[in-house]
Amino acid sequence: MSLLIVFIISLVIGQSLSIGLGLVVERYSTPYTGMVTFIGSYFVMFWLAWRFAVRITAPRLSGAGKSSQVKRRERPLLSAA
């Protein structure tokens, strides 16, 4: 649930930046350039917001840090009868 909340909050902030960037480019250039800039940054913000949300809500390792990793128990693919 926290992943979704962080994603939506960061997406709203990112899309606000996309709108602002598109309007600034449109003011100093042609409307077509502003629209292309907005559409490009619009889709990039979805990707960035998701990466940001996953990184922020990722579970943290406790103890020794990254050097102590949880080992999985390996099972044989075929069991002997």
Q: What are phi and psi of 18, to 5 degrees?
A: -65, -45
For residues 6-15, average pLDDT: 96
Is 33 contained in some domain? Answer: yes
- Residue 7 binned pLDDT confidence (cut-offs 50, 70, 90): very high
- Residue 22, in any domain of the structure: yes
Written as six digits, the tokens of 58 are 């990722």
- Indicate the pLDDT class of residue 77, thresholds 50, 70 and 90: low
| DSSP codes joined into one string, the chain | -HHHHHHHHHHHHHHHHHHHHHHHHHHHS-HHHHHHHHHHHHHHHHHHHHHHHHHHHSPPPPSSGGGS-PPPPP--SS---
Range of the domain at 39: 2-57
- 71 is a domain residue: no
**25 lies in some domain:** yes
Q: How many domains does the chain have?
A: 1
Structure confidence at residue 60 as a pLDDT band (50, 70, 90): confident
* 18 located within any domain: yes
Decide if 72 is inside a domain.
no
